[in-house]
Amino acid sequence: MALLAKKIAIVTGASSGIGRAIALKFAAEGACVVIADTVELPIEGGQSTAALIESSGGTALHIATDISDWNAVDALVTATVTRFGRLDVMVNNAAIYTSTNLIETSPEQWSRVIGVNLTGFFHCCKRAVMQMLAQEPVNDLRGRIINISSQHGMVACPGDFPYSVSKGGIVQMTRQIAVDHADDLIVCNAIAPGKIITGKPGVANDPDALDYSRQRTPWPRLGSPNDVAGAALFLASDMASYVTGINLMVDGGWMAG
């Protein structure tokens, strides 16, 4: 039996990269997946995530959403429930970065990164929990939230101040929701990827950044989006029972060093 049969999931930022891999894996395990992204086509090229899922016989829907906008997130969850009846898994993955240190970061850059990476996650967690509270438990669970944090939410991200601060906040947001909503039978966990090769624009894939990541990573290769998708599948499925408030590292040992 598929691990996510009959489950309804939203994945933010699922048009590209890690979010796309999570959406594809969830769909392959039987979930109906809503792709919530500002754009539809992947940064790395190819078909849209929704088209790819539909062409392999799965069920997917793209809903144009900027997670920094509360009204858009509210409409996203409403549309998901109208179409599919409930929300079992909310994966908060969409994020941006600036590669600027404290001095280089303008107030506008700070507001935008925090607006997406922290306020956007707040919007998605809050709206998801509002929906989960309104639905009946299945197997003693009302719903699951998975927040994509980063190893750079636990140690500094050299030269990227707002990103690193936002990721630290996501780790704490995860613990807070796990504790405050355990009685409501809602679980909330985070996944902290190490260096994952995606088509992300900016300096993330510059040779210097890759060299730095290779030096920091004990495992003999850098990560792939599928590495993170496997961890997300575990946390989204009933295989993960009695697991809440964790920050699961998928980092090739970066944080162990």
Ligand X SMILES: NC(=O)c1ccc[n+]([C@@H]2O[C@H](COP(=O)([O-])OP(=O)(O)OC[C@H]3O[C@@H](n4cnc5c(N)ncnc54)[C@H](O)[C@@H]3O)[C@@H](O)[C@H]2O)c1
Q: Is 212 a catalytic residue?
A: no
Tell me the sheet residues that pair with 189. 146
Q: Answer yes or no whether residue 7 interacts with ligand X by CB under 6 A.
A: no
Of the pair 38, 135, the CB lying nearest ligand X is at 38
Of the pair 58, 223, the CB lying nearest ligand X is at 223
Q: Answer yes or no whether residue 66 interacts with ligand X by CB under 6 A.
A: yes
Q: Answer yes or no whether residue 200 interacts with ligand X by CB under 6 A.
A: yes
Of 97, 163, 212, 242, which one is the catalytic site residue?
Answer: 163
Identify residues 139-198 at the interface with ligand X (CB under 6 A): 148, 150, 193, 195-196, 198
Closest residue (Cβ) to ligand X?
A: 17
CA distance 97 to 182: 31
Query: How far, CA to CA in Å, does 133 sit from each of 42, 86, 87, 144, 252?
Result: 33, 11, 10, 11, 36
CB of 5 to ligand X, least distance (A): 26
| Binding region for ligand X (CB under 6 A) out of 3-11, 61-69, 99-107, 134-142 | 61-69
Tally of residues, the chain:
257
CA distance 1 to 5: 7
CA distance 21 to 110: 28
Query: How far, CA to CA in Å, does 95 sit from each of 18, 19, 139?
Result: 11, 10, 32
Task: Indicate the residue type of 176.
Answer: Q
* From candidates 13, 58, 162, 252, binder to ligand X by CB under 6 A: 13
Identify residues 31-60 at the interface with ligand X (CB under 6 A): 37-39, 43
Under a CB-based contact definition with an 8 Å cutoff, are residues 12 and 94 in contact? yes
Contacts with ligand X by CB under 6 A: the residue count is: 29
CB atoms within 10 A of CB 78: 12
CA distance 191 to 88: 18
Of the pair 18, 240, the CB lying nearest ligand X is at 18
Per CB under 6 A, residues contacting ligand X are 12-13, 15-19, 37-39, 43, 65-68, 93-96, 116, 120, 148, 150, 193, 195-196, 198-200
Residues designated as active site? 163
